[in-house]
Each structure stands twice: as structure tokens, then as C-alpha cells.
Structure 1
Amino acid sequence: MKKGLLAGAILLSTLSSVSIAHGSCGDTDLHGYMQDIKSEMRQMSSAVKSGDHDAATEYVDQLIVSFQKSRNTHPHQFEIEGLEGEALAQQTEQYVQLIDSTIKTLQDLNVALVANDKKTIRQLVGEMGKHRKAGHSTFKGSC
């Protein structure tokens, strides 16, 4: 059991670089939110690793707030690619869906942390990794 939790914590710590749609092309609101997410993920990972699920749930709550703020912004990539009209609307919808899906995963993670459901915690941490990968591959532009 402890090996599974440790594996989940290790995976979670790899997510400390989570920054869905994070652009390093200037100091944007989204960049700031993603920096906050990166920090909160590290802190949550440490709390999960140490078995402090109460602290981990507090960090999950902070992550949810940061993702909700991110939802109302646009990735810098949209500007780089000069998206307008229907193309911008489609990419924005895709971005919002990914953010909403990530928030849902975090809400589910909170429930698993409260219930001390190690198997579900591990599964949801894996889902967070998938969200991060999808966000980076789809929305992280290079300047």
C-alpha cells in the first residue's frame, strides 16, 4: 500500500511543473496563475507524500481557484498564431474544456484525499499528468 502511495506522490511531484497553456512570452496573467499552480502542486505533493491529506486538500482548493482564474484568460499561443473569429472560438472552447476537466479532477482528488482513498488518489494524480501533457502539447506556444 505504501509503495502505491509513494508512486502516486512521485508522479504528483513530477506534476510540479504543471502549467497548462503556460506561455513564457511576457508577464501575462496566465503566466502568473501557472506559476502559482506550479508552487501549489509542489506543496500538495509534499503534503501527500507525508500523508498530510488535510494540508493536501487545502492546496487542492488553492489549485482549483488558480485554474478557475486561468479559465478566464487566453494562452499566449493564441496571439502568436494570430487566431481570430471561428478559429479563436474553437481553440478557446477547447482550452476551457481542458481547464474544466482539470478542475473536475481536482475536485475528485479532494474527495479521495478526505476519504483517504489511496487507489483513487493515485488514479487522479495520473489524470492530472494527462491534463498537463494535453495542455502543454495543445496550448503552450513557443516564442
Structure 2
Amino acid sequence: MKKSLLAGAILLATLSSVSVAHGSCGDTNLHGYMQDIKSDMRQMSSAVKSGDFDTATEYVDQLIVSFQKSRNTHPHQFEMDGLEGEALAQQTEQYVELIDSTIKTLEDLNVALAENDKKAIRQLAGEMGKHRKVGHSTFKGSC
């Protein structure tokens, strides 16, 4: 049983130093939100490792708020690529879909934490890793 908790904590720890779709191309709102996400992921991971699921849930709630704020911004990559018109609309739609999917995963993680479902926590941590990879590969600019 402790091995499964440890495995889930390890997965969450791998997420603790990353966030979805931000570039460090200046001090944008999105960059700030992603820095908050990075910090909250670390704190959530620590709480899960220690078995403090109540505290982990508080950090998940904060993550959801940060992603909701991020939903209303554009990645710097859009400007770097000079996106306009239909291309901008398509990229924006993909970005919003990723943010919404990430929020749904976090909401599911909150349920798993409340139910002390270590298997689901591990699975959802893996989903967060997939969201991160997609976000970074698609939307993170290289300044």
C-alpha cells in the first residue's frame, strides 16, 4: 500500500517542476500563472507524499483557479508566430481545450484525494504529465 502511495507521489513530484504552456519571454500574466502552478504542484506533491490529502486538495483548488485564469490569456508563442485570424482562432481553441481538460483532470484528482483512492491519484498524476507535455510541445515559445 505504501508503495502505491510512493509511486503516486513520485509521479506528482515529476510534475512539480513543470507547468503547461508558458514561455519565459517576459513578465506576462500567463507566465505568472504558470509560476504559481509550478509552486502549487510542488506543494501538492509534498502533501501527497506525506499522506496529507486534505492539504493536497487545497493546492488542487489553487491549481484550478490558476488554470481558470490562464484560460483567458494567450501563450506568448502566438505572438512569436504572428498568428492572426483563423490560425489564431484555431490555436486559441486548442489551448482552451487543453486548459479545460487539465481543469477536469484536477477536479477528478480532488475527488480521488477525498476518497483516498491512491490508484486514481496515480492515474490522474499521469494524465497531468500528459497535459504538461502537450502544452509545452504545442504552446511554449522558445525565446
Range of TM-score over shorter length: over 0.9
Q: d(CA) in 2 for partners of 1:124 and 1:9?
A: 11
Equivalences for 1:47-86 in 2 at 5 Å? 47-86=47-86
Task: Return the alpha-carbon distance in structure 2 between the equivalents of residues 132 and 40 of structure 1.
Answer: 14
Which whole-Å deviations, capped at 9, do the CAs of 1:1-35 have from their partners, x for residues lacking one? 21111011011011012221111000000000000
- 1:97 aligns with 97
**Number of the residue aligned with 2:19:** 19
Using the alignment, how far apart are the partners of 2:119 and 2:52 within structure 1?
16
Q: Distance in 1 between matches of 2:54 and 2:20?
A: 25
- Tell me which residue corresponds to 2:36: 36
Structure 2: which 5+ residue stretches go unaligned? none
Amino acid at match of 1:105: T
Q: 2:119 matched to 1:119? A: yes
Look up the SS of the partner of 2:136 in the other structure.
helix
What TM-score does the superposition give when structure 2 sets the normalisation length? 0.99
Q: Which residue of 2 aligns with 1:106?
A: 106
Equivalent position amino acid for 1:140 in 2: K
State the AA in 2 paired with 1:87.
A
* Distance in 2, Cα, partners of 1:94 & 1:32: 21
- Looking at structure 2, the residues matched to 80 and 19 of structure 1 have their Cα atoms a distance apart, in angstroms, of 20
TM-score by length of 1: 0.99
SS at match of 1:24: coil
Aligned residue pairs: how many? 143
1:103 CA drift (Å): 0.1
Cα distance in 2 between the residues matched to 1:83 and 1:99: 19
Aligned position for 1:9:
9
